């Protein structure tokens, strides 16, 4: 059995992007929280599933960014966040003609609505209006609510892409460190210190062809998923944000990364043209391939751990529900029920249950250490 991490070691949570598929991430996170409470001997109460009590920093992209806001900045429970998420998905991704929601008209409305979306994709920059998303965010967060809070609040960040420069910009709920300035000339982290939750949420979720770009302080933003659909690298680098006044690297006890579901690649067609299109499609998909980033990060963590004493090693947990050959589009809210079924099946698998228990043990161990110190944290531990 490995020795426990030192008091003050930090825990990081990373949430992938994926549109409506983010419901799968939330279900997995809720299962982890449930297991944590069981280990702690607490009575089962879904209203008490609060991830912000167990992680020092959370980061997400697009749908993962919206989840991070609700779970950490607004301090919602996982069940409450899932309720809001279901409602948001339907409101944001329902096709409409004027005030009419076409999906309210049964099967004919479903096919007509999908046809309208395809037509908009050809003729307009975005097939969905940003208004439903903005109303949904304001309903949850309140109008003009700032993203940044006091320094002692739970810390979270969202990834977005600076459209003109192709650089990642992080919107933080806390003051950014001075050494975290963007490389792009003319852009400073201070420019976005007073952004609202609405502005940051729009910026992280502005997926090209789906939702309009977001303009903040004259800068154009696209969906963070273009560069960081799996934002694990950004979350890992942001561990330095937790110790901005020290030259030491913070010790990270665990990293929990949760995907939005992954499907198996379909076999290539024997027809040359179809095979060519399949190759192009596969090449484009690499830009948002969350599992590829996971594999790279897993390798890097393993190499790092081999060079550290056991007490300073980082445990890395990756959860992502397989969907077989079923493919779910980021706007396919009417098939969320099916993704939920597949996620439940994944959570019931013996290997998944074992991994969730291992993850929960690490999180519960940390919480016990905090409470044993009369509620006072020992501060961030670093290594030279």
Query: Computed over its alpha carbons, how large is the radius of gyration of the chain?
Result: 21
Biggest CA-to-CA distance, the chain = 68
CB contact at 8 A, 22 and 384:
no
Quick one: which of 290, 313, 309 has its CA closest to 301?
313
Q: Is 65 helix (H, G, I), strand (E, B) or coil?
A: helix
Structure tokens at 210: 């789906």
Q: Which residues pair with 256 in a beta bridge?
A: 13, 317
223 labelled catalytic:
yes
User: What backbone torsions phi and psi does residue 352 show, to the nearest 5 degrees?
Assistant: -65, -40
Q: Residue 80: CB partners within 8 Å, gap ≥ 6?
A: 47, 70
Pick left, alpha or beta for residue 2 (phi over 0 → left; psi -120 to 50 → alpha; otherwise beta).
Answer: beta
Residue with tokens 């992007």: 17
Helices (H), the chain: 22-39, 63-68, 78-92, 106-123, 131-141, 197-204, 225-228, 232-237, 272-285, 290-305, 336-348, 350-371
Active-site entry in 56, 223, 233, 241 = 223
Residue 338's alpha-carbon distances to 333, 341, 342, in angstroms, are 10, 5, 6
DSSP string, 303-330: HHHTTS-GGG--EEEEE--B-TT----T
For CA atoms 223, 111, 115, 139, give the dihedral sign. Answer: negative
185 labelled catalytic:
no
Q: Which stretch of DSSP H or E encloses residue 167?
A: strand 167-172
Q: Residue 121: CB partners within 8 Å, gap ≥ 6?
A: 127, 209
Q: Which residues pair with 167 in a beta bridge?
A: 162
Q: Which stretch of DSSP H or E encloses residue 258?
A: strand 252-258
Active-site entry in 24, 25, 62, 89 = 62
Helices (H) and strands (E) in the chain — how many of each? 12, 12
Structure tokens at 300: 């890097």
Alpha-carbon span 246 to 248, nearest angstrom: 5
Active site residues: 62, 223
């Amino acid at each position: 059995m490995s020795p426990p991490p030192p008091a003050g070691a930090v825990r990081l949570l990373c949430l992938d992007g994926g549109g409506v598929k983010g419901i799968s991430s939330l279900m997995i996170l809720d299962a982890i929280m449930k297991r944590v409470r069981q280990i702690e001997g607490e009575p089962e109460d879904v209203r008490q599933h609060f991830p912000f009590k167990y992680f020092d920093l959370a980061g997400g992209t697009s749908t993962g960014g919206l989840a991070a806001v609700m779970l950490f900045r607004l301090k919602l429970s996982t069940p409450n966040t899932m309720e809001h998420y279901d409602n948001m998905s339907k409101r944001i991704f329902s096709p409409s003609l004027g005030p009419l929601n076409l999906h309210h008209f049964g099967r004919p409305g479903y096919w007509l609505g999908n046809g309208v979306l395809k037509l908009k994709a050809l003729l307009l920059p975005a097939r969905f209006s940003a208004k439903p998303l903005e109303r949904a965010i304001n309903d949850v967060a309140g109008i003009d609510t700032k993203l940044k809070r006091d320094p002692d609040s739970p810390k979270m960040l969202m990834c977005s892409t600076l459209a003109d420069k192709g650089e990642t910009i992080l919107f933080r709920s806390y003051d950014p460190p001075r050494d975290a300035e963007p490389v792009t000339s003319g852009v400073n982290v201070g420019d976005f210190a007073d952004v609202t939750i609405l502005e940051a949420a729009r910026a992280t979720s502005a997926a090209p062809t789906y939702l309009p770009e977001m303009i903040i302080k004259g800068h154009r933003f696209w969906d963070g998923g273009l560069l960081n659909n799996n934002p694990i690298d950004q979350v890992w680098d942001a561990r330095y944000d937790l110790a901005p006044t020290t030259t030491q690297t913070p010790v990270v006890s665990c990293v929990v990364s949760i995907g939005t579901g992954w499907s198996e690649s379909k076999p290539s067609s024997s027809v040359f043209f179809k095979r060519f299109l399949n190759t192009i499609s596969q090449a484009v998909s690499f830009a948002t391939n969350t599992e590829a980033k996971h594999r790279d990060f897993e390798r890097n963590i393993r190499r790092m751990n081999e060079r550290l004493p056991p007490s300073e090693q980082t445990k890395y947990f990756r959860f992502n529900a397989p969907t077989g050959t079923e493919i779910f589009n980021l706007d396919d809210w009417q098939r969320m029920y099916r993704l939920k079924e597949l996620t439940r099946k994944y959570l019931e698998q013996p290997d998944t249950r074992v991994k969730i228990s291992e993850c929960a043990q690490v999180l519960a161990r940390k919480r016990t250490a905090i409470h044993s110190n009369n509620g006072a944290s020992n501060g961030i531990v670093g290594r030279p």
